[in-house]
């Protein structure tokens, strides 16, 4: 039976295989279909090694063109795309780099969205635009943010190349016309891939690793008494059980106060990942037929996260309210998790039901989300609008100011709702 794009599974087996040390974890689940204007934060680095293209901020549009040298670099990397054919670039990540200087190497392929190409798409956050590392793209050095490179390392297949669409790399950032056209295609780009892979990040910060390293060095050859435990393993076990609709009172992990606190701490680390607050996340996970979430070495379908939040909310508000009470400040991250996940679930429901979703409906749900460029708070939602009223659809145009765009949205709201509520 094909995988459903529903975020609510109709059957969930309870078996979970846990990883051996140093191994990946894939939480496998069985699902059945149910019936029926910002500053440019990227730069071109001029060094003894030549010109280096830097990709990576937190907007779909990354780099402002700065002259002929930059154009020359992109001219070597990016061939022109055909608008009538609705072409995009995808990168194929090589299983292993051909040079020891770059552990990630990839190459472009141009495909047409009208030919139903096979590819994946990446949903992630760039991270610090000044913290970059090099990769190879079409044989040229390209600097990407550390977070993106980590994502590529997680995604890279060990045996076969992986075609994937990544906005920071696949959009020619010095071609304004291409940039705007590619943003207009964003709905189809995320609706047509075989799978969207969400990279949340790594569960442990460098400070946590340093803390353990110091403790290890201070006590070697004995193991440090205060060495960190892998609390994320516990949290993923808890989430899998919650997705299976197990009563909180029947989950052994919650019966031990110390383990319960460890689970909650891991949940907090999960929900504090910047990915949850990105405006572009909305359509990136609602549109595709399949979404897989990577958090460190743990991989699981987004459906599991959704089911866990649904059942957690239900049990905490009814039969199992005493186990993880909302009155306990320690559990606030659970409320935050459920709220963010259920907002995605609700938007997915509206999309699948072909509801006449307006821009105003989406803005009420998602305007608090983050965007480096304030215009993306509008442009990041356009692909989900189905009802434009008597007005024509708003299209991405990064040549207009944020003030002009918001005035246009306000006039559109008044026209559609016949009220001044938006103001």
Q: Does the pLDDT of residue 148 top 70, yes or no?
A: yes
Least confident of 66-70, 298-302, 308-312, 336-340: 66-70
Residue 62 CA to residue 43 CA, distance in Å, equals 9
* pLDDT, mean of residues 265-280: 90
Place of tokens 């670099």: 73
* pLDDT, mean of residues 142-159: 85
Which of residues 52 and 380 earns the better pLDDT score?
A: 380
How does residue 357 score in pLDDT terms, banded at 50, 70 and 90? Answer: confident
What is the distance between the terminal CA atoms of the chain, rounded to a whole angstrom? Answer: 48
pLDDT of residue 266: 86
pLDDT of residue 372: 80
Q: Quick one: which of 142, 140, 170, 164 has its CA closest to 152?
A: 164
Which of residues 354 and 242 earns the better pLDDT score?
A: 242
pLDDT of residue 415: 84
Of all residues in the chain, the percent with pLDDT exceeding 70 is 73
* pLDDT, mean of residues 265-284: 90
pLDDT of residue 51: 35
Q: Does the pLDDT of residue 189 top 80, yes or no?
A: yes
Q: Does the pLDDT of residue 38 top 80, yes or no?
A: no
pLDDT of residue 423: 60
Residue 359 CA to residue 377 CA, distance in Å, equals 11
Least confident of 10-19, 143-152, 255-264, 275-284: 10-19
* pLDDT, mean of residues 403-417: 88
How does residue 97 score in pLDDT terms, banded at 50, 70 and 90? Answer: low
Residue 393 CA to residue 378 CA, distance in Å, equals 12
Which of residues 416 and 382 earns the better pLDDT score?
A: 382
How does residue 66 score in pLDDT terms, banded at 50, 70 and 90? Answer: very low
The kind and range of the H/E element at 361 are helix 359-366
Q: What mean pLDDT is reported for the chain? A: 78
Cis previous bond, 291, omega within 30: no
Instruction: Decide if 55 contacts 130 (C-beta within 8 A).
Output: no
The count of other CB atoms within 10 Å of the CB of residue 38 is 18
pLDDT of residue 218: 59
pLDDT of residue 143: 86
| Cα distances (Å, whole numbers) of residue 101 to 50, 56, 104, 141, 421 | 16, 21, 9, 10, 57
pLDDT of residue 367: 83
Which of residues 47 and 368 earns the better pLDDT score?
A: 368
pLDDT of residue 182: 93
Q: What pTM did the predictor assign?
A: 0.79
Least confident of 24-38, 208-222, 244-258: 24-38
């Amino acid at each position: 039976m094909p995988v459903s794009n529903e975020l609510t599974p109709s059957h969930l087996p309870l078996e979970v295989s846990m990883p051996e040390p140093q191994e990946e974890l894939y939480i496998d689940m069985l699902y059945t279909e149910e019936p029926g204007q910002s500053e440019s934060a990227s730069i071109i680095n001029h060094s003894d090694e030549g010109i280096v293209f830097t990709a990576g901020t937190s907007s779909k549009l990354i780099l402002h063109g700065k002259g002929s040298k930059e154009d020359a670099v992109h001219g070597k990397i990016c061939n022109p795309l055909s608008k009538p054919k609705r072409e995009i670039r995808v990168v194929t990540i090589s299983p292993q780099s051909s040079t020891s200087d770059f552990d990630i190497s990839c190459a472009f392929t141009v495909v047409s969205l009208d030919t139903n190409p096979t590819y994946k798409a990446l949903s992630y956050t760039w991270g610090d635009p000044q913290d970059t590392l090099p990769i190879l793209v079409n044989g040229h050095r390209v600097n990407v943010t550390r977070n993106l490179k980590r994502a590529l390392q997680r995604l890279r297949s060990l045996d076969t190349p992986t075609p994937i669409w990544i906005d920071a790399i696949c959009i020619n950032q010095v071609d304004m016309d291409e940039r705007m056209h590619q943003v207009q295609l964003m709905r189809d780009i995320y609706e047509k891939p075989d799978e969207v892979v969400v990279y949340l990040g790594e569960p442990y910060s460098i400070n946590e690793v340093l803390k353990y390293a110091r403790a290890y060095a201070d006590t070697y050859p004995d193991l440090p008494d205060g060495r960190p435990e892998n609390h994320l393993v516990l949290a993923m076990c808890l989430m899998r059980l919650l997705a299976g609709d197990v009563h909180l009172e029947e989950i052994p992990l919650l019966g031990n106060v110390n383990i319960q606190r460890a689970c909650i701490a891991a949940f907090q680390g999960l929900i504090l990942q910047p990915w949850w607050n990105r405006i572009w996340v909305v359509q990136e996970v609602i549109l595709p037929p399949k979404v897989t979430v990577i958090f460190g070495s743990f991989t699981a379908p987004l459906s599991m996260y959704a089911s866990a939040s649904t059942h957690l909310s239900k049990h905490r508000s009814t039969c199992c309210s005493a186990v993880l009470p909302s009155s306990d400040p320690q559990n606030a991250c659970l409320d935050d998790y459920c709220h963010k996940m259920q907002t995605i679930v609700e938007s997915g429901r509206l999309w699948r039901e072909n509801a006449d979703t307006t821009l105003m409906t989406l803005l009420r749900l998602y305007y608090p989300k983050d965007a480096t460029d304030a215009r993306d708070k509008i442009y990041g939602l356009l692909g989900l609008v189905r009802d434009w009223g008597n007005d024509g659809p708003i299209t991405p145009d990064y040549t207009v100011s944020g003030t002009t765009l918001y005035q246009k949205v306000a006039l559109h709201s008044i026209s559609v709702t016949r009220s001044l509520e938006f103001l």
